[in-house]
A and B are shown apart, each in its own frame.
Chain A
């Protein structure tokens, strides 16, 4: 079984790319990984189409865990998930976790072959309950 993929969605492409670099440093190529940041004009923001593409790039049969930063990133990711194939929707989880720490710890969990719900749960242990 393939490892769970990780997607990073930030308002800033630099933040998204930097967080992805930190994930790669930790897990190498052991998990499918994609990031996206910025709106369609190249400014700060998030873009539903790009989020859909990032999920597609990081797709794994084991599912994909998505890390987001502020409000609009989460709302746009939820919208993107609803516009993706219904068969895939149940295997995409948004993690309620800080984006950088969450991405690194989720990827580390995923690299050991854990299923999506465990990857999500591990990332969410970082958030205050």
Chain B
């Protein structure tokens, strides 16, 4: 993959997360420990500072380095979860990925995140965004915008869910009525990446 595109992806994802840090924090304050925004911001600031060097690597190497940085910098539960996502993508993706390769890599990453969080679909987590995106991944010509919209709607669909995993599960029924912060950050990243592929 072209290094200019890789750099643009890194910069846009980082900028998107940094710009939404306060929103992610207030979502997490409602049903968690309120650190999701600041934790993600710390991780993506570190990635942004390293954007040139990261973009110069092959796509798998770049994703591996991003995953490692997220693991080491983000903390919270989202550090190992997003770290595992990127580290698994790194293992499964080729440097010039086709849509099929991307989908297979994302499916493997989904399983790895599921195992890392000992969680499953329907528990008000980022998995509730990843699963519908995987299910919607087909051969249509406007795939990027289709996946972006699927992710946005899936994050919104976590609002009525009751949290079963993570700090939000301590709230029980009181977790209902709030969007899951991890689902929101996932949908933001998917929309940002999709934009570079025509969404």
Interface residues of A (CB under 8 A from B): 39-41, 43-49, 70-72, 75-76, 78-79, 83
* B168–chain A nearest beta-carbon distance, Å: 10
| B166 is an interface residue with CB less than 8 A from chain A | yes
Task: A46-B76, A47-B72, A47-B75 given; name 10 further pairs at CB < 8 Å.
Answer: A43-B35, A44-B33, A45-B76, A71-B165, A72-B79, A76-B75, A76-B79, A78-B116, A79-B79, A79-B80
Q: Which 7 A-B pairs have the closest CB atoms?
A: A72-B77, A39-B75, A79-B80, A45-B75, A75-B80, A72-B76, A75-B77
Docked-complex contact A78 and B80, CB < 8 angstroms: yes
**Contacts A45-B35, A71-B167, A78-B116; is A40 near B75 (CB within 8 Å)?**
yes
How many residue pairs link A and B with beta carbons under 8 A? The number is 54
Supply 17 A–B pairs (Cβ within 8 Å), ascending by A.
A41-B42, A43-B38, A45-B35, A45-B39, A45-B76, A48-B71, A48-B72, A48-B79, A71-B77, A71-B167, A72-B75, A75-B116, A75-B117, A76-B77, A78-B116, A79-B79, A79-B116
Check B73 against A40 for contact (C-beta < 8 Å).
yes
A72 and B32 alpha carbons, distance in the complex (Å): 12
Report chain B residues within 8 Å CB of A79.
71, 79-80, 83-84, 116
User: How far, in whole Å, are A45 and B42 apart by their CA atoms in the complex?
Assistant: 13
Within the complex, what minimum Cβ distance (angstroms) separates A79 from chain B?
4
Given A49-B72, A75-B117, A79-B71, residue A44 in contact with residue B80 (CB < 8 A)? no
Q: Which residues of A contact B72 (CB under 8 A)?
A: 47-49
Shortest Cβ distance from B24 into chain A, in angstroms?
15
Instruction: Determine the main DSSP class of B at the interface with A.
Output: helix
Residues in chain A near residue B80, CB distance under 8 A = 48, 72, 75-76, 78-79
Contacts of A44 in B (CB 8 A): 33, 35
**Interface size of B by Cβ–Cβ distance < 8 Å?**
21
Give the complex CA separation of A84 and B71 in angstroms.
14
User: Smallest CB-CB separation from A45: which chain B residue?
Assistant: B75
Chain B min CB distance to A54 (Å): 15
Smallest distance from the beta carbon of A129 to chain B beta carbons, Å?
Answer: 18
- Measured in the bound complex, the distance between the Cα atoms of B33 and A25 in whole Å is 32
Return the chain A residue nearest B73 by Cβ: A40
Taken together as a complex, chains A and B put the C-alpha atoms of A45 and B80 apart, in Å, by: 13
Contact flags B103-130 to A (C-beta < 8 A → 1, else 0) = 0000000000000110000000000000
Shortest Cβ distance from A114 into chain B, in angstroms?
Answer: 28
What is the chain B residue whose CB lies nearest that of A46? B75
Residues of B near A83 (CB, < 8 A) are 71
A78 to chain B, nearest CB (A): 7
**In the assembled complex, which residues on chain B have CB atoms less than 8 Å from the CB atom of A46?**
75-76
Contact B167 A70 (CB under 8 A): yes
Residues of A within 8 A of B77 (CB): 71-72, 75-76
Shortest distance from the beta carbon of B122 to any chain A beta carbon, whole Å: 18
Tell me, yes or no, whether B81 is within 8 Å of chain A by CB: yes
What B residues does A41 contact at CB under 8 A? 42
Residue among B76, B81, B116, B165 with most chain A CB within 10 A: B76
